[in-house]
Amino acid sequence: MVAQSVQSGPGTRETRGRTRREQLTPEQTNARLEQRIRELETELANRPQQPAPAPRRIRVASPEKFTGDQDGQQILYWLSSVETAFRAEEYRGVPLDHYGKITLAISYLDTKPRRRYNSRVAQQGEFATYELFDTCCMQRSR
């Protein structure tokens, strides 16, 4: 019966179920590791591209349209709903800058507050940040 020898990893040789360590110099170990890295990199480069993972979905109720009532509680509730919509977008992997947040928020303004928003922007220009938009909405409710 002939003993079979199988290579099972860098620096080891398996003979009849037992593992015996070969004595390798650091240069030999580095050469084997570099060779294995090249093999893995080639394998990775030749692997077919996998499609990007599907965006994460989360079911969130859309905010109700803000009717422009001067009730401070209604504006607080509406702003909270809009911020929940922001978080849902960011959870899906859609980062929102302040322009994205303002755009999403104004999409939930009813007719009268939308006209006020358009008038304000025409007179004073766009809001520089979402926080300024939020502050302006809060001041209008007082």
Establish if 1 belongs to a structural domain: no
Q: Which domain holds residue 88?
A: 72-140
Span 4-38, pLDDT tens digits: 545 555 555 555 555 667 788 999 999 999 999 99
E strands, 5-123, in order: 5-9, 12-15, 18-21
pLDDT of residue 48: 81
pLDDT at 138 over 70: yes
Establish if 46 belongs to a structural domain: no
Contact in structure between 131 and 107 (CB atoms under 8 Å): no
pLDDT of residue 61: 79
The 3-state DSSP class for residue 7 equals: strand
pTM: 0.56
Establish if 25 belongs to a structural domain: no
Establish if 135 belongs to a structural domain: yes
Q: Which two tokens stand for residue 128?
A: 């520089």
List all residues 6 or more positions away from 142 whose beta carbon is below 8 Å from its beta carbon. 72
Span 65-80, pLDDT tens digits: 888 777 778 888 899 9
Establish if 24 belongs to a structural domain: no
Establish if 81 belongs to a structural domain: yes
pLDDT at 50 over 80: no
Establish if 34 belongs to a structural domain: no
Give the 3-state secondary structure percentages of the chain, helix then strand then coil, rounded to 5: 55, 10, 35
- Most distant CA pair in the chain, distance: 96
Burial (Cβ within 10 Å: 0-12, 13-18, ≥19) of residue 113: buried
Span 77-133, pLDDT tens digits: 899 999 999 998 888 888 899 999 999 999 999 999 899 899 999 999 999 999 999
E strands, 28-92, in order: none
